[in-house]
Amino acid sequence: MKKAFLIILAVTLCYFAKAQSSVLDLGLRLQKDIGLYSENGISINFSDKNLLPDRLYIGFSYFTSRIGTAFSSNAIKQDNFLISPAYYFRRDKLIRPFIRLNAGYFDADYGSPIFNVLPNKSLLLSPEGGVSIQTHLPLKISLSLGYNVITSNGVNNVPGTIYPFFYQLTLSWNILKHKK
């Protein structure tokens, strides 16, 4: 599953590099699971100039506790891969609400075969909503609150460290801006 995501990402980046008049935001995603870990990573979001430009986006994110709470600690090392269609309202305004639907994959490393009896992989599904600050610079700051639909209840074969609520901050740069 991880390899499939990485291949999709590589192909998509190649395509994006040629679509020079659209929006391609590359960014850092800083996520906090409410009540649990911080998980950080990268986020790539693209909007095609021919399809609801700067309104409809498709994104890819990878974020992990390895560069969050699990960095130099005994917290569980877990990885998240998301594909996310999103819609940004109020085009050309400074403050833009947006909604996003994430679908993806979660994988936790428990570190010992003793815990092979426990679930450590899961699909992810989460709606998100928030606001984006979009100046005339290529910089975009997005803040949102999300809800993981698939979580564990201790008996349902879902990893226990997927928590329901999270918020995230993405700082991104439109690498296609100023190119013609």
Partner 1 sequence: MEHFKTQKMKKILVAAITLLVFAGCNKTPVVPANELGGGVIMDPSLTDPAAYRISVSQPTPTAAQAQIPVIICSHGYSASTFEWDEFRTWANGTSKYYIDQILLAGHGTTYAAFKASTWHDWESTIVDEYNLLVSEGYKNIDFAASSTSCTLMLDLIHSGLFNNAGTTVHIFLVDPIIIPSDKLLSVAGIVGPMLGYVTADNAPGEDVYYYHYRPQETLQQLEDVLNTVRGELQNGLTLPKNVYVKVYKSIKDPTADPVSAVLVYNGVKTFDGNRIDINMINSDIHVFTRLSLVPNVTALDRQNQVYAFNDITTRIFQ
State the amino acid at position 28 in one-letter form. L
Tracing tokens 């800083």 back to the chain, one arrives at: 30
Of 133, 160, 127, 171, whose CA–CA distance to 145 is shortest?
127
Q: Left (φ > 0), alpha (ψ -120 to 50) or beta: where does 87 sit? A: beta
| Range in contact with partner 1 (rule: CB under 8 A) among 13-21, 45-53, 112-120, 127-135 | 112-120
When binding is defined by CB under 8 A, the residue of 85, 97, 127, 160 that contacts partner 1 is: 160
Question: Rounded to an integer, what distance in angstroms lies between the CA atom of residue 35 and that of residue 29?
Answer: 18
Question: Rounded to an integer, what distance in angstroms lies between the CA atom of residue 117 and that of residue 156?
Answer: 13
Helices and strands, counts by H and E, the chain: 1, 8
| Range in contact with partner 1 (rule: CB under 8 A) among 44-52, 70-78, 87-95, 126-134 | 70-78
Does residue 127 bind partner 1 (CB under 8 A)?
Answer: no
| Range in contact with partner 1 (rule: CB under 8 A) among 88-96, 114-122, 126-134, 138-146 | 114-122
Question: Smallest distance from the beta carbon of 23 to partner 1, in angstroms?
Answer: 31
Tracing tokens 């003793």 back to the chain, one arrives at: 114
Comparing CB distances to partner 1, the nearer of 1 and 118 is: 118
Question: Smallest distance from the beta carbon of 153 to partner 1, in angstroms?
Answer: 5
When binding is defined by CB under 8 A, the residue of 14, 18, 50, 114 that contacts partner 1 is: 114
Question: Rounded to an integer, what distance in angstroms lies between the CA atom of residue 84 and that of residue 101?
Answer: 5
Residues near partner 1 (CB under 8 A) are 34-36, 69, 73-76, 110-112, 114-115, 117-118, 151-155, 159-161, 163-165
